[in-house]
Amino acid sequence: MKVLTQFERKPLLFQDPEFIISCADPSLFTAAFEKIEGALDKGYYLAGFFSYEAGYNFEKKLRKDKQYDFPVIYLGAYKAPQQNKINFSRQAPADCPQGLRLNITRKQYSLDIGAIRDYIAKGDVYQVTYCIKLLFKYCGDPLLLYYQLLKEQPVPYPAYIQTDRFHILSLSPELFIKKKSAHLVTKPMKGTWPRGNGMLPDLIAPLRLKYDRKNRAENVMIADLLRNDLGRMGVNIKAPTLFEVARYKTLCQMTSTVTARIEKNIPVYRLFSSIFPSGSVTGAPKIRAMQIVSELEREERKIYTGAIGYISPARDMFFNIPIRTLLIQGNQGEMGIGGGIVWDSTSDGEWSEGLLKAKFLTDLAKAPFAPA
């Protein structure tokens, strides 16, 4: 197992683990965290991922009595990371993904958006992050594809994971948590806007996103949820910045920053059970939103919207939220595409936003795709 994180332009390479902590069985979930604590106590670094479905095991109302096909926890135990610098100019062009298709029809997508709006109208939820998948075939070198995608659209929290069974290529622009001693930062992302066509429209696009009423409402709703989640385990909860807009090659995205002071040596289970998965990928209120996600989404999300990163022996942590993230198993690939659905959402608008979020991959494929 090899894990490469390049968070905030500070690459770390974890390879040749002493052992791997893996869990796909909910009955072994708590025991996996006991192994995590034991490995940290012995001075190991842990690097890998938590799948979205790990979040179901923190809440009795959500727990499922099933064996998952894909691990909900997969962490290698390493003596220490290596610094790893990559020279993109030396990388050969990657093969293109082939046979792109969506896992849902346009008609069914509209029905699902309508169902979510019905739940909102009844007062069950305020927002639900609803996801579909882009499926494809890939027969080339996954690492080259990762390099090429990152070169085409640099992001602040990219990561690459290689195992005997699968490869994960994460081109994530979103931070889940960064914990240094007793200080914890999270930056939930909500709000998407297309880049402008032409110099002036492109300069204005970030401002249009920043002051768009619908996107601001979504963003502050999730920032409030994160403040509440951090309050379950920390103190001095603050939101020092709201509505920050970053511009990427194909789109603009908006984040807010929420911080807290927590116990320096907080058990990993307690930390994750308080805030995982991030409210930015579930909706609000979180538990009811996750129930609706489980009802409407027809496939497990797996790595998509989970967390990729590492934990040091000192309990410092750094994890992204794996959006814009490809999972390749054999020659079959998938990438989740999601968006926050609120009362003002329309099926057409959310569909277009999803296609925009996938553009960094579909542009590389240079081929049209259609719903399943």
Q: Which residues are identified as catalytic? A: 174, 190
What whole-number distance in Å separates Cα of residue 312 and Cα of residue 344? 43
Residues contacting 10, CB < 8 A, separation 6+ = none
**Could you tell me if 270 and 278 are in contact, meaning their C-beta atoms sit under 8 angstroms apart?**
no
Torsion, Cα 129 179 40 158, to 10 degrees, reads 60
CA angle, residues 145, 150, 155, in degrees to nearest 5:
150
3-class DSSP state of 36 = helix
- Measure Cα distances from 182 to 44, 134, 271, 315 in Å: 20, 39, 12, 9
- Sequence-ordered list of residues with C-beta below 8 angstroms from that of 155, at least 6 positions apart, any chain: 171, 172, 173, 248, 324
φ, ψ at 102 (rounded to 5°): -90, 155
Structure-token pair, residue 317:
């942590």
Is residue 208 helix, strand or coil?
Answer: helix
Phi, psi (5° rounding) for residue 305?
Answer: 65, 20
Report CA torsion sign: 189, 191, 195, 200: negative
DSSP 8-state secondary structure symbol assigned to residue 164: S
Closest CA to 143 of 163, 164, 160: 160
